[in-house]
Amino acid sequence: MGYGDYLEQLTYLIFLKMADEYAKPPHSRKVGVPARFAWPVMRPLKGAELEVHYVEALRALGTEKGTLGQIFTKAQNKIQDPAMLARVVEMVDDVTWTTLDADTKGDIYEGIIEKSAEDTKSGAGQYFTLRALIKAMVACVAPEPGRTIADSPHPVARARLSIPPTSFRPHLSAPEKDLKSPPRPWPSAAPHETHRANIAPAPPR
C-alpha cells in the first residue's frame, strides 16, 4: 500500500472520528452517519471483525444521499492487514481532531503528501510547496514590515510570511547584501487579489 492509499484511508477514518466529535456536545450537530457505522461502534473492534465492519461501512456510506454519499463514493479498504487497520484506528482515536487548528492539520497532510511524492516520479508539487522552496521565495522577496503582498493564491502569500524575513540575512555574503535594493512599494492589486498581512519586525538579536 502506497502513501496515496494510506492518505485515502486516513481521510475516511478521520472523517468518521470527526463526525463523532461533532455529534457530541458542545457541537451537537446532525452529521448523517448511520448509528451502526458511527465511530464508537467501530473503535473497539479488532481483527477480521474490524475489517468486515470497515468494508461494510465504506460500501454503505457510499450509497447515502447528499455530501456523505459523495465523499464515500466507490470507497474501498486498502489496508489489507487487520492488525495495521486496528493500529490506524487507535492512532486516529487518540486525537481530538476538532480541537486542532487548520495549520496543524495542514502540516499533517503535507507530511503525508511529501512521503507520497517519494513513491512517484512526478512528485507532489501540485499539492504543496516544499519548505526549501518557501525559504528561497522568502529570501528573494525579502518582505518588510508594513508591506502588502499581492497574491491571488492567498496560501502562497501566507507561506511566504511564515518565516521571519531576517532569518535569511545573516547568511548573505557581503556582495549579496550590497545588491539588495532599498524597500520599495509593492505593486497595487485589486482588492480581491490582495492578501494583506501585517509583517511584524523580527525580535532583536
- Span 3-28, mean pLDDT? 89
pLDDT mean across residues, the chain? 75
- If one counts every other C-beta atom within 10 angstroms of the C-beta of residue 1, the result is 12
CB 66 within 8 A of CB 32: yes
Q: CATH number of 3-100: 1.10.645.10, 1.20.1260.30, 1.10.287.70, 3.20.20.30?
A: 1.20.1260.30
Tell me which range, 58-67, 116-125, 126-135, is most confidently predicted by mean pLDDT: 58-67
Per-residue confidence (pLDDT) for residue 39, from 0 to 100: 96
- If one counts every other C-beta atom within 10 angstroms of the C-beta of residue 17, the result is 21
**Extents of the domains making up the chain:** 3-100, 131-195
Per-residue confidence (pLDDT) for residue 173, from 0 to 100: 41
Q: Which of 95, 107, 120 is nearest to 3 (CA)?
A: 120
pLDDT in tens, 164-194: 444 434 344 444 444 444 544 444 444 444 4
pLDDT in tens, 75-126: 999 998 999 999 999 999 999 998 888 777 777 777 777 776 666 665 555 5
- Rounded to an integer, what distance in angstroms lies between the CA atom of residue 110 and that of residue 179? 35
CB 197 within 8 A of CB 157: yes
- Span 43-60, mean pLDDT? 95
- Rounded to an integer, what distance in angstroms lies between the CA atom of residue 17 and that of residue 56? 17
